[in-house]
Amino acid sequence: MVISGGPRMPEVMEWGVSSDVAGGPVVDYEHYRAGLPPATLQYHPPIGLFAQESLGFPGRPGISGHRPDGTGWSPRFVRTEERVQPDGVSFVLEDDRAGLQVIAAVVISDGGAITIDAVLTNVGDTPYTLATMAPTLPLPSSATDLLTLSGRWTMEFMMNRRPFQGQMIVENRRGRTSHENAPVVFAGSSAFSEQAGTVWGAQLAWSGNFAVIAEELSDGRKFFQLGELLLPGEVQLAPGEAYDMPQVIATCSSAGLTPATGRFHHYLRNEVRPKPLGPRPVNLNVWEAVYFNHDEGVLMNLADEAAKIGAERFVLDDGWFGSRRDDSKGLGDWYVSPDVWPNGLGPLIERVTGHGMQFGIWFEPEMVNADSDLFRLHPDWTLTTDGYAPVLGRKQLVLDFGRSEVRENIFNQIDAILSAHDISYVKWDMNRVIVQGSGADGRAGVRKHVLGLYELLDQLRLAHPKVEWESCASGGGRIDAGILAHTDRVWTSDSNDARDRQLIQRGASLLIPPELMGAHIGPPTTHTTGRTHSFGFRAATALFGHFGIEWNVLEMTEEERAGMKDVVDLYKTHRNLLHSGQVIRLDHPDSSIVAHGVLAHDGSEGLFSVASIHTRTATSSAPLVIPGLTGTYRVEPLLIGGELPGTDFAPPVWMAEGADRNLFREAKQL
């Protein structure tokens, strides 16, 4: 990485990973500086780390805001200090006139990811209202394609590739990370693929509103800019107060998207995660088995059957508390419902733990129903705006976690449940977006809510260090490196449809490694899509994440039960490899083929999946090339439930019997 010196705002001149990106400067702006076209400024304005309107940068300024009288809106910083360390550099930037100071650090982590952190302090003597703070990273002109992840509920993380021309802005204003847009962007040449081409990527570690920009200026220079999207007046810094911007994590590889996102995985695994994870237990979640119909007898039976097939964690979902018999009431009242659990949760938990399984439980702590004791007591605790009828989502409102008294109430309620029971896991759900979310002072409150959420999670983790936490938001509505600093896995999607999951998990794997990605095998016919898939396909799809079961085990046939036991054993045998190795998404010329796998870092073994997600016009497919293999390997099919998944007629000989690589070579030579 090369960053400009001197007294001005630092400019990133080159970035990449020297061992990986061969050749000279990877971003070369010099030739743009050579000449000046008519109708422009008398020089090419710099694209600083925080790009400045005050020097002519024509895009969205890296830092903007204003004083009460409107002044200070276009700062121009000078570098007053710089400290170079082996792994990065930090700066102090000051603008005395605007009364602002920035302390920023750019660091290259062990695995090659680059992080940008910065804090802006109001050193003036009046309040400063901040509008934007977002660093820029330059890109070479050879980056002609953009890749983002977009989607919807049950179809998150779809890869969206488009030409890189002009300005692309992805804004999220939903108050949580969202199903619609992930806070990440990649750029590369039009030929970049999983295994080829130089790829540049950046993501924002933040679980609220954000703006991701990829822009090409009219002089041809290109850049990324990522930052929190601040609502009007949301951040008002009193004299001496500071704004700590969400971290930007950047990556680059000259060998395609797969190694570039491998750097994200390395960073998440080693730097972001709050604690090391042990072997990921097989989760059995009862949501789709019983929904709101909680019955002690049925759930005991479910626990017995779950244990028999080898589940290691039993998660009781929505419906166990307060008046929550459907989705219209009860949120906010986190006490065990005497109506459905007259004996309390104790007997079920004992049954579960008696089988050697962990017990997990669902909460949706940020929410309240109007029909709840909490709302009746504190109708003013919601993130709404006085004088306007609130907009409901799933018949509920969002509590304002920006207020300490709200967090304290929810902490006490959750703490009481966790302290009174042997609970090892919490599924933390968040089922609606935030609309017109003002805090008690009437000002926009999304940022404070997100910070309050992080704070409450940390407080609960401290009080209950043995509990693991799952981030769920109607499936994959809150998946980002921000929330993963406070939780241990995500619920990737409410769709357990194996065909869709192939694509959802592939997209999610651009951001997160498999051990953090909840992947459950559902019933033959998926509840959310109505589509039916074979057991082998469903199992082989769920295997490549943090494996679990979302199926009423009491309804399984004997054959399905036996098959499930096999798959659970298979997962247990391979989970160390699956959750520590290098994730490889394979290129394939046929768009109906989704091929991916995990290769051990020492290359000694790997597990791969090749799925055909729609019928191909050709009966056989092009060979798969797995990068990074050295020496001779034996290729063996994994039997799922005693069968080869997906083969209907006569499988190829190698698939039926296994083969080593030399055999292929010999066969070819013949």
- Residue 598's alpha-carbon distances to 157, 201, 286, 462, 593, in angstroms, are 20, 21, 29, 33, 17
Q: With contacts defined by CB under 6 A, how many residues of the chain interact with ligand DGJ?
A: 11
Residue of minimal Cβ distance to ligand DGJ: 318
Which one of the spans 166-174, 469-477, 525-533, 579-587 is the region binding ligand DGJ (CB under 6 A)?
A: 469-477
Which residue, chain included where needed, has tokens 């400067």? 25
> Considering beta carbons, is residue 164 or 375 the nearer one to ligand DGJ?
375
Asked whether position 500 contacts ligand DGJ by CB under 6 A, the answer is no
Catalytic residue (one of 371, 488, 494, 497)? 494
Asked whether position 537 contacts ligand DGJ by CB under 6 A, the answer is no
> Considering beta carbons, is residue 248 or 430 the nearer one to ligand DGJ?
430
Alpha helices in 13-72 (DSSP H): 30-34
Of these, 488, 494, 500, 566, which contacts ligand DGJ (CB under 6 A)?
494
- Closest alpha carbon to 576 in 591, 592, 593, 598: 598
* Cβ atoms of residues 134 and 217 within 8 Å: no
Q: What is the CA radius of gyration of the chain?
A: 26
Of these, 136, 198, 207, 474, which contacts ligand DGJ (CB under 6 A)?
474
For the question of residue 494 being annotated catalytic, the response is yes
Asked whether position 482 contacts ligand DGJ by CB under 6 A, the answer is no
Residue type, 358: Q
DSSP states of 163-190 as a string?
A: E--SEEEEEE-SSSS-SSB-SEEEEE-T
| Shortest separation between residue 364's beta carbon and ligand DGJ, angstroms | 7
DSSP 3-state helix, strand, coil percentages of the chain (rounded to 5)?
A: 25, 30, 50
Separation of alpha carbons 455 and 371, rounded Å: 27
In the region spanning residues 296 to 325, those forming contacts with ligand DGJ, defined by CB under 6 A, are 317-318
| Shortest separation between residue 324's beta carbon and ligand DGJ, angstroms | 9
Strand partners, 632: none
Which one of the spans 54-62, 402-410, 413-421, 467-475 is the region binding ligand DGJ (CB under 6 A)?
A: 467-475
Which one of the spans 239-247, 336-344, 468-476, 479-487 is the region binding ligand DGJ (CB under 6 A)?
A: 468-476
> Considering beta carbons, is residue 248 or 426 the nearer one to ligand DGJ?
426
Separation of alpha carbons 522 and 552, rounded Å: 8
* Cβ atoms of residues 426 and 363 within 8 Å: yes
Strand partners, 313: 283, 358
For the question of residue 429 being annotated catalytic, the response is yes
Asked whether position 429 contacts ligand DGJ by CB under 6 A, the answer is yes
Of these, 341, 363, 428, 491, which contacts ligand DGJ (CB under 6 A)?
491
Q: What are φ and ψ of residue 212, in 5° steps?
A: -115, 120
Asked whether position 497 contacts ligand DGJ by CB under 6 A, the answer is no
Asked whether position 551 contacts ligand DGJ by CB under 6 A, the answer is no
- Closest alpha carbon to 255 in 320, 198, 187, 205: 198
Of these, 50, 287, 341, 363, which contacts ligand DGJ (CB under 6 A)?
287
Which residue, chain included where needed, has tokens 């007591």? 377
Of these, 46, 138, 330, 475, which contacts ligand DGJ (CB under 6 A)?
475
> Can you give the binding site for ligand DGJ, defined by CB under 6 A?
287, 317-318, 362, 429, 431, 472, 474-475, 491, 494
- Catalytic residues, by residue number, are 429, 494
